[in-house]
Structure 1
Amino acid sequence: MTGSNLLDTNIVIELFKGNSTITEFLETLEEEINIPFAVLGELYLGSYRSANPKKHIKQINSFLERCNVLIADDETANHNALIKTALLQKGKPIPENDMWIAAVSKQFDLKLHTKDKHFKEIDNLNLQSW
């Protein structure tokens, strides 16, 4: 695995929409981009539910050529359980996929780029809010 950045679904969607701030940031990166398996699942879901699935699947496939998809293993599951436990104790649960995304970020010590504010509820998460 290369790179030190992990993208949340909403950042990839902004890239697909042509958001110049996101595009310029990603162009400055010399390393490959990482996305968690859960982000890829959310992107596929959005594509299949859209008015033009073929167009969006093609966009995803093109994007996948320049990024690594990080999959879950036993260590990811442990991070996920720790994150979920802490959030439940705080009474601040977040969406299930987002806990998996945070778990991948923690496991690989990657900076998570997101527009979602609820990731701030997770302690010691390397976060870049947009």
Structure 2
Amino acid sequence: MFLLDTNHCSLILQGHPIVLDHLAAIGQTPVMTCVIVQGELILMAERSARRAENRRTVDAFLREITIFSIDQITAHTYGSLKAAVLQQFGPKEKAKQRHTALHQLGFSENDLWIAAIALQYQLTLVSMDSDFQRMQAVVSLPTVRWDQP
């Protein structure tokens, strides 16, 4: 089962042929996304030059795909993952650890939430973001890219 990140949802919406070929090749294998990606897609549509048209396209896409929400298990997974990322990539000095933010380490809060959902449901994450590759240092997070043959 696959969890689509924002960049791959966007490529699907743009009709990217290689991504669509990968999607067709997996057949009946479930493909989902999550509320974090939903929010990012809506934001992209709202900020676009063709707001109304893009919003209709995004809304139609979101009606056709399973969307995972965040629950208490997700929150627990997120907290553990964030702690591991900060431990691995953050400063080793205790005094500096408390004031270190994820973005200072090159990670996005949203990407940690997306990873937490993928981990919770044991999904393969479909993304081009390097954040997820770096997370491999602290957790086993299967990732693939569909934008390449």
Q: Same fold (TM over 0.5)?
A: yes
Equivalent residue number for residue 13 of structure 1: 10
Give the superposed CA RMSD.
Answer: 1.4
Q: TM-score, normalised by structure 1?
A: 0.91
Deviation at 1:25, TM superposition (A): 1.4
Equivalent residue number for residue 23 of structure 2: 26
Equivalent residue number for residue 145 of structure 2: 129
Aligned identity (percent) is 30
* Amino acid in the other structure paired with 1:8: D
Task: Identify unmatched segments of 5+ residues in structure 1.
Answer: none
Say whether the 8 Å CA contact 2:38–2:62 is kept in structure 1.
Answer: no
Q: Select between 69-78 and 85-94 the one with higher mean Cα deviation.
A: 85-94
Task: Identify unmatched segments of 5+ residues in structure 2.
Answer: 90-104
In terms of Rg, which structure is larger?
2
* Amino acid in the other structure paired with 2:10: I
Deviation at 1:36, TM superposition (A): 1.1
Deviation at 1:63, TM superposition (A): 1.1
Deviation at 1:31, TM superposition (A): 3.7
Between the two proteins, the alignment pairs up a number of residues equal to: 127
Deviation at 1:93, TM superposition (A): 5.1
* Amino acid in the other structure paired with 1:23: L
Choose which of 131, 134, 143 in structure 2 pairs with 1:118.
Answer: 131
Q: TM-score, normalised by structure 2?
A: 0.80
Say whether the 8 Å CA contact 1:5–1:110 is kept in structure 2.
Answer: yes
Matches within 5 A, 1:56-75: 56-75=54-73
Structure 1 consecutive aligned stretches of length 4 or more whose deviation exceeds 4 Å: none
Secondary structure of the equivalent of 2:28? coil
Matches within 5 A, 1:76-115: 76-91=74-89, 92=105, 94-115=107-128
Q: Select between 31-40 and 104-113 the one with higher mean Cα deviation.
A: 31-40
Equivalent residue number for residue 39 of structure 1: 37
Say whether the 8 Å CA contact 1:34–1:67 is kept in structure 2.
Answer: yes
